[in-house]
Amino acid sequence: MNRAPDDAHRHARALLDPVHYDYFAGGAGREVALDENERAFRRLALLPRVLRGAASRDTAVTLLGDRSRMPVLVAPTAFHRLAHPEGELATARAAAAAGTVLIASMAATTAIGEITAAARSVRPEAAVWFQLYLQPEPEVTGALVRRAEEAGCTALVVTVDSPVRGRHGRDERHGFHDLPPGLAAENMRDLPGTAPGGAAVRPIAMSSALSWEHVRRLRDTTPLPVLLKGVLHPEDAQRAVAEGVDGLVVSNHGGRQLDAAPATVEALPRIVEAVAGRLPVLLDGGVRTGCDVAVALALGATAVAVGRPVVWGLAADGERGVRDVLEWFRSDFDQALALCGGTRPADLTADLVVRRGGVGSGAW
C-alpha cells in the first residue's frame, strides 16, 4: 500500500536530525504564508457532478511536450542528501518510475547530469526540468544553462521571487547556515569565477537588480522552454505573456520568502484570468491531497507540483518512499476525479469549486 504524505511526514520527522527537519519544514517570518497554503485549500470544497456515464479515466497531462502520467510534478527542493544518503538520485528514479516530471533544483546536492542519468536509467523518456536562479553574472547563468542542456533537461524553471533570501527563524535559532561536511550544491562547482578543477563551489547569489531584461537574455541563449516560478500578481502574469515566456508557476516559494504573501490557491484564479489560456499555469504550495489537486485544476491550473511531501517520502524510505508518495497522489487524484464525475483533468472546471458554507454562492 502506498504511503500517504501525512504518514511519510510523521516517519520522516522521527528519523531526521531536528535541525534538518526544521530546514525542510520551516518557512519565513511567523510562517503565516506557510500555514495558509494548506489552510486555503481546506476553505474550499468540490461540488461534484453525478451520473456522467464514464467507466474509465485518464489522469495524464502533457506539459510543453512532456507527458506526465498525472498532473502532479515534483517541485524543486534543495539538499535532498540531507534527507537520505542517495538524495536526488533516489528522487529522480522514483519520479521516473511514477511517470511524472522532476523539476531538479539548482541547489541540489547532486549534479544535474547525474540526476537526469538516474531518471533515464529507469525510463529513457523521463522528463527532467532544471530550476534556475538567474545569477548577476551572465556568464555564470550561461554556464548553468549549458549544463542543463547537456544533461538533457527539457525545460528551465526560473525562480523569480527571490531578490533577497527569506528569513527563516528555525534555521536562525539552530544556527543552520551551511551544509555539513561532504555535502554541497553540486551544480555550483567549477563555474566562471572559481578556480578550475571543480573543488570550489560558488554560492547561489540573490539579486534585486534582476529584471525582465535578464529573462530576455536567457530566452535568447537557449532553445529550452522557460517557465517563471513565483508569479503572484496578475500584471506580472500579463507581462510574462507579452515577453513570450512559455509557462508560469504560481508559487510563494512554499512560504519561505514573503510571509505576507497570499496562499497560492487564492492567487491562482487571477493569474489564470490574466493569462487567458495563452500559456500553461502550474501551482505549488500546500497541495497535500488528490482533492487539492482537483481544486487547483478546476481553478485553471494545468498541473501542480509537490515539494515537502516528496522530501518526507525520501526521508522515510528513500526511493521507495518517494515513489509511494507519488503513487498515492495519483491514486487519490484519480478517486477525486471520479467522485467529481470527470474522466480527465480537463473535466474539472471552476463551477465545481465553492467556499465551504457557500454552496450556490458563486464564490469563484
Residue 317: pLDDT above 50? yes
- Tell me how crowded residue 78 is: count the other CB atoms within 10 A of its CB: 19
* pLDDT for the residue numbered 198: 63
The average pLDDT across 103-120 equals 98
Quote the mean pLDDT of the chain. Answer: 95
Q: In the chain, what percentage of residues exceed pLDDT 90?
A: 93
Given a cut of 80, whether residue 3 has pLDDT beyond it is no
Query: Which are the contacts of 31, defined by CB distance < 8 A and separation ≥ 6?
Result: 169, 255, 259
DSSP 49-114: ------------EEETTEEESSSEEE---S-GGGT-TTHHHHHHHHHHHHT--EEE-TT-SS-HHH
**What confidence score (pLDDT) does residue 358 get?**
63
Catalytic hit among 9, 20, 214, 253: 253
Residue-wise pLDDT tens digits, 128-170: 999 999 999 999 999 999 999 999 999 999 999 999 999 999 9
pLDDT tier for residue 363 given thresholds of 50, 70 and 90: very low
- Helix, strand, or coil (residue 178): coil
Q: What does each C-alpha distance from 312 to 12, 84, 169, 198, 218 come to in angstroms?
A: 5, 10, 21, 31, 33
Structural contact between residues 250 and 275, judged by C-beta atoms closer than 8 angstroms? no
d(Cα 40, Cα 44) in Å, to the nearest integer? Answer: 7
Report pTM. Answer: 0.96
Annotation says 253 is catalytic? yes
SS3 assignment, position 204? coil
**Predicted confidence (pLDDT) at residue 285 exceeds the cutoff of 50:** yes
Q: Compute the average pLDDT of residues 322-338.
A: 97
Residue 1: pLDDT over 60: no
Q: How confident is the model at residue 302 (pLDDT cuts 50, 70, 90)?
A: very high
The answer to whether the beta carbons of residues 57 and 337 sit under 8 Å apart is yes
| Contact (CB, 8 A) for 236 and 271 | no
C-alpha R_g of the chain: 19
Q: Are 135 and 203 in contact (CB under 8 A)?
A: no
pLDDT at 357: 79
Strand partners, 95: none
The partner residues of 201 in beta bridges, in order of sequence, read 189
Query: Under a CB-based contact definition with an 8 Å cutoff, are residues 29 and 169 in contact?
Result: yes
Cα–Cα distance measured from residue 20 to residue 34, given in angstroms and rounded to the nearest whole number: 17
